[in-house]
Amino acid sequence: MKEIKTGGRPTKELGKKRTYMVNVKMNTGEYYSLKAKAKSAGISRSEYIRQSIAGSIIRSRLTPEMNDYTNLVHKMSYLNN
């Protein structure tokens, strides 16, 4: 019997397959900035965004309680001067 050659690329593992698409609206300046930065890095815009996400550090917002404490400390330091 002949072996059937399927050819083509092997299937990706479940965790590596990209299944989600996100549409983002940008103004003209943002778009051309992204386009220029991706081109200077030598990668696609999609890959530039992926790498930016992976390398980003997102800081959480202050809770209302922490914000109140920060304002209080600021006011106290203002009064002491």
Q: Is residue 69 part of a domain?
A: no
Range 40-66 average pLDDT = 89
pTM over 0.85: no
Q: What's the domain count of the chain?
A: 1
* Range of the structural domain that residue 49 is part of: 18-57
Q: Is residue 71 part of a domain?
A: no
- H/E stretch holding 49 reads helix 45-55
Range 15-37 average pLDDT = 93
Average pLDDT, the chain: 87
Quick one: what percent of the chain has pLDDT higher than 90?
A: 47
Residue 13: exposure state from Cβ atoms within 10 A (0-12, 13-18, ≥19): exposed
Has residue 81 got a pLDDT over 80? no
Q: Is residue 8 part of a domain?
A: no
Q: Is residue 47 part of a domain?
A: yes
